């Protein structure tokens, strides 16, 4: 059974601090996705990571993928209030194209 675990599930942090959200998954996969969801809104795609060692950066967010460790990280640098949202990772199981989401990390950045 494919499981995707995110931690922490809730994170409250001060502006200007750095932090990392972790996403572990239990099956072989080389396609991992990060999404953002603002309160009361839909999900929007942030990053697509397609291979071992992949690193993508957009502004203060950087995502990486280690397929051997079955781990992806989403690093936040010098957090700002606008980054407050819930972040989901998702894994794409190639053999049947099923997609499994983590439970999400609710990030609250205090001004």
Is residue 80 at the binding interface for another protein, with CB under 8 A as the rule? no
Strand partners, 33: 48, 90
Shortest Å distance, C-beta 77 to another protein: 23
Q: How far apart are the first and last CA of the chain?
A: 40
62 counts as binding another protein under rule CB under 8 A: no
Q: Does 95 bind another protein (CB under 8 A)?
A: no
Q: Are 49 and 29 in contact (CB under 8 A)?
A: no
Task: Round to whole Å and give the CA distance between 72 and 1.
Answer: 19
Q: Which of 42, 67, 75, 108 binds another protein (CB under 8 A)?
A: 42
Q: Which residues bind another protein (CB under 8 A)?
A: 31, 33, 35, 42-45, 48, 50, 88, 90, 92, 96-104
């Amino acid at each position: 059974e494919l499981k995707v675990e995110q931690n922490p599930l809730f994170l409250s942090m001060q502006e200007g601090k750095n932090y990392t959200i972790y996403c572990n998954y239990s099956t072989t996969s080389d396609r991992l996705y990060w999404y953002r969801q603002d309160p009361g809104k839909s999900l929007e795609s942030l990053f697509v990571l397609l291979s071992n060692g992949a690193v993508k950066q957009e502004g203060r967010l950087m995502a990486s993928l280690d397929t051997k460790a079955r781990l992806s990280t989403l690093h936040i640098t010098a957090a700002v209030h606008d980054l407050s949202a819930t972040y989901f990772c998702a894994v794409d199981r190639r053999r049947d194209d099923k997609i499994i989401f983590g439970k999400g990390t609710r990030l609250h950045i205090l001004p």
